[in-house]
Structure 1
């Protein structure tokens, strides 16, 4: 995610930033039918908390809430859009390619403008905090080991050699 953002591949960085809460939430609470609930809770506890630290405005608590992030996730990952739809009201989140001062919320239009790098770092800090919170949890550790992994060509070659040797 950070590498994508550093390379200027902002769409990939945003997509990864919107996907990581799904993955972390699923590791915390595995099972079907809980995706929206666990995503919102995870976002509010981790990246959302970071945004609240940066932008503590009593008139607008939570620059991007879990509900907002879930709506953006659905709109972007399923349709490539930034306009949330659905039954729960959510703010529209629009991205700025480079930071111009700080991100803020346009209360008139209900639109949040946020720099891509700030969004990416909020998710990164959320994941880091979450990993620290779960550092001693063996179940979480076991589920982390089950995440998709990409082998190097050497690892694949070793796997083939071992399979041939067994047969």
Structure 2
């Protein structure tokens, strides 16, 4: 897992946004599979994202908290980006909201988590860094869990050039 986090950080330094976003959208899949191997891929992805990253994508309304980007939404983004090289439109995803027709990534920092023309704009760099922070916190939380760390050790472990 650390090799992927390090690769994501290298992509961010190089401003390689397509690669960074692909890695950021993949990390919850890897972590979710370790955390909840018995669950379906969409379910474990959404649960992991909601727990470790999702709090940064919620807003407080009078009626309670509202997810600007839920784990299910992020899973739809992942599928669209990795399988089709696209961002998500509601016609192509199962998770439709009344307020949004589309999610898309931007490079303008002031547009992070803003609505424009029924679309949620997400700052690519900030999103990737939020996923990195979530991964690091999750890794710290499982460091004494022998079964989960064993699964991670069986994964891709290659030396990263610095």
User: For residues 55 and 138 of structure 2, what CA distance do their matches in structure 1 show?
Assistant: 12
- 1:69 aligned residue: 74
Are 1:79 and 2:88 matched, yes or no? no
SS in 1 for 2:103: strand
Written as runs of structure 1 = structure 2, the 5 A alignment for 1:49-60 is 49-52=55-58, 56-58=59-61
Shift of 1:102: 5.0
Are 1:26 and 2:30 matched, yes or no? no
Higher strand share: 2
SS in 1 for 2:157: coil
User: For residues 57 and 93 of structure 2, what CA distance do their matches in structure 1 show?
Assistant: 24
SS in 2 for 1:125: helix
- 1:45 aligned residue: 51
Shift of 1:108: 5.0
- 1:104 aligned residue: 113
Aligned-CA RMSD value: 2.1
Question: In the alignment, which of 126, 141, 146 is matched to residue 118 of structure 1?
Answer: 126
User: For residues 111 and 81 of structure 2, what CA distance do their matches in structure 1 show?
Assistant: 23
The structure with the largest alpha-carbon Rg is 1
Shift of 1:151: 5.9
User: For residues 116 and 61 of structure 2, what CA distance do their matches in structure 1 show?
Assistant: 13
SS in 2 for 1:112: strand
SS in 2 for 1:61: strand
SS in 1 for 2:67: coil
TM-score (norm 2): 0.80
Q: Where does the alignment leave 5 or more consecutive residues of structure 2 unmatched?
A: 1-7
Question: In the alignment, which of 76, 93, 96 is matched to residue 89 of structure 1?
Answer: 96
Equivalent residues, number: 146
